[in-house]
A and B are shown apart, each in its own frame.
Chain A
C-alpha cells in the first residue's frame, strides 16, 4: 500500500469495512440456531438486533429500488411508499381473506405493485421535474387513504382503520427466517441494479436522465423505458412490503403507507450516491442506524443535556432534515463518490459542489 494515493487507501479501508459489516450481518444471526446454542455458542443476536437488521434490509431494498427510477432515470418519485403498501396489503389480503399460504402470496405482492406502477406511470411519467414529484407524492398519499376508506357492501374492503391481522407464520426461528428473507430481497435489489447498469436498458435510462430529447432521437422508446423503470422500482418495493406484512403480522395504513418512508428512501439514496450500485444500500444502512440511534432504539443511546428523552425522535427528524440539505448542496453525488477513487473529500470539493448546485 506504500505510495498509494490516500483516496485509494481509504477506498480499501471502507471496502473492507463494508465486507466486515456484511459478513457480520449474514453470519451473526446463525448463532441463534438451536444447534449452535446447544454447542455453547454465545448468542450474538437478540430480538432487537433482528428487528433493527430486518428494517435496515427493508430500507436497503426501498432505497435501491428508488434509485432505479430516481437515480438512473432521473424521475424523482415521491410516492414509492404506495408500492410498499400495495405489496403489504396484497399479502395481507391474500392470507387473511383468501387463506393463501405466505410463500404463494408473496410473489403477488411485487406483481400487484408493478401492475399499479404501469397504470399510474403511463399518465404520470409524461410529467417532468417537480410536476412528476408532486403528482407521485399525491398518488402515494391517495392510495393509503383509499385502502383505509374503501367500503364494500357496508364493510371495509381492506380491513379499514382496524387493519389486517395475519396469522403468525409457523416456522422455527421466525426472526432468522424473516431477516434472511429481507436480506435476500436486498441482495436482489442490488443485483438488479448491477445488471441494469450493464445493459442496453441501463444505457437507455441514463440517456433519458441526461437528456430525454436526445435519448428519443437516438431511438430510445422513452415512454416504455420510463414505465419499465418505474415498474421495476415498484416490483422491488412491493416485494419488501410483502415480506414486511407477514413479518409484522399486522398491516394498517399507518405502518404500510408511512409518508415519511418516501423522504427516507430518497435521502438514503442521495446520501449514499444516486445512480450507483451500492450507494443507496450504504446510505440505507448508515441512515437507518443513525435514525435508530437518535431515537434511542439502539443499546447505545445518546444523552444530550437539556433534551428530554421523549424529545429525541423529534431531534432525529431535525437532524435528518439538516443532513438532507447538507448532502444535496455539498455532496450531490453522494458519499460513495469519495470511495470510488474519483474524488476526495476536501474544502475544494465542497466549494465546487456548491457552485454546481447553485442556480
Chain B
C-alpha cells in the first residue's frame, strides 16, 4: 500500500551489524500527511530502521529517498535540515538548559526553511510548548521534570525544528495508561498541525488508536503493511508477537 505521492521511500533498506542483519531488505513508502505506525517485538529493528533514515547509521544496502532524492549517507544534521525530525527512545535532553531553552535550541536549528533569529525562536518555542502541553513548565530546569514530561520535551524539541516528517521512537514506552492517552492526544495535535508522523511503538494499543496504516517488523524483516485491523489479524504477525502456541490455538478455534 504505497501512496500516490510518496514523501519518504525506503527501498530494500539493509543494515548489518557483523553477520546479523538488524534491518533486512525493508521496502515501503510514506505519503505526505500520513500517520504511520511501525511495530514489532524487541529486536525487530525498529530503532535501527529509524537510525538508517535519520543518518545516524550508514546503510549496507538499499536506498532512502526524500521527496524523490536519495538521502542515504547524509550526516544526521543534513537530514534534519531537509525537514526530517526525530526523537530518541531514551530521551536526550540538554540538561543544563531550561525546558524552554531546549525547545529554543530546536527552533534555532532544524529545517533550513524559515529559520528564526534568536528573539523569534523564543516565541516559536512557546508556541510548541503550548502544543505539547508544557507551557506551564517552560522555565523549569530539565532535572525537575518527570519521565512523561521529558518524553514530551523530546517531542517538543523535535517539533520545534519545523519538520515535514517526524520520526517518534517509542514516545509512549514506560508510560502508564493515563499518560499514554495524554501522549496520544499530543501526537494527534502534532499530526494535525501538518506534520507527517512515523510512530515507532512496542505497544499495539497505541498504534491502533491513532494510525491508519501499520508496518510490522520482525527480526529485521517486514512482515506486514496495511490498516491496523487487517494487519493485527495476520497470522504471521500474531505468531511474531504472541508466540507459536497462541497462534496455533487461534487457528484451532
Contact = CB atoms under 8 A, between A and B. Distances in A.
A211 B118 contact: no
A220 B78 CA distance: 9
A214 B88 CA distance: 8
Given A198-B118, A204-B109, A213-B56, A218 B92 contact: no
A200 B97 contact: no
B92 A200 contact: no
B158 interface: yes
Interface in B80-137: 80-81, 85-86, 88, 92-97, 101, 104-106, 108-111, 118
B65 to A, nearest CB: 19
Interface in B55-93: 56, 75-77, 79-81, 85-86, 88, 92-93
Contact of A200 (B54, B79, B111, B118): B118
A206 interface: yes
Contacts of B79: 217
Contact of A214 (B94, B101, B108, B111): B94
Interface in A186-239: 198-200, 203-204, 206-207, 209-211, 213-222
Contacts of B108: 200, 203-204
Contacts of A200: 108-109, 118
A207 B103 CA distance: 11
Contact of A216 (B76, B105, B106): B76
B96 to A, nearest CB: 6
B77 A206 contact: no
B47 interface: no
Nearest to A204: B109
B95 to A, nearest CB: 6
A207 B101 CA distance: 10
**Majority SS at the chain A contact face:** helix
A204 B81 CA distance: 14
B15 interface: no
Contact of B157 (A218, A221, A222): A218
B81 to A, nearest CB: 5
Contacts of A206: 94, 96-97, 105
Contacts of B110: 218-219
Contacts of A220: 77, 109
Given A200-B108, A207-B105, A222 B56 contact: no
B88 A221 contact: no
Contacts of B75: 216, 221
A183 to B, nearest CB: 30
A206 B95 CA distance: 10
B196 interface: no
B92 A219 contact: no
B102 to A, nearest CB: 9
Contacts of A219: 77, 80-81, 109-111, 161
B118 A218 contact: no
B53 to A, nearest CB: 11
7 contacts: A211-B93, A213-B92, A214-B94, A217-B86, A217-B88, A218-B158, A219-B81
Interface of A: 198-200, 203-204, 206-207, 209-211, 213-222, 275
In order of increasing CB-CB distance, the 10 nearest A-B pairs are: A219-B80, A219-B109, A210-B94, A214-B92, A216-B76, A211-B92, A219-B110, A200-B108, A203-B105, A218-B109
Given A211-B94, A217-B79, 4 more contacts: A203-B105, A210-B96, A213-B76, A217-B88
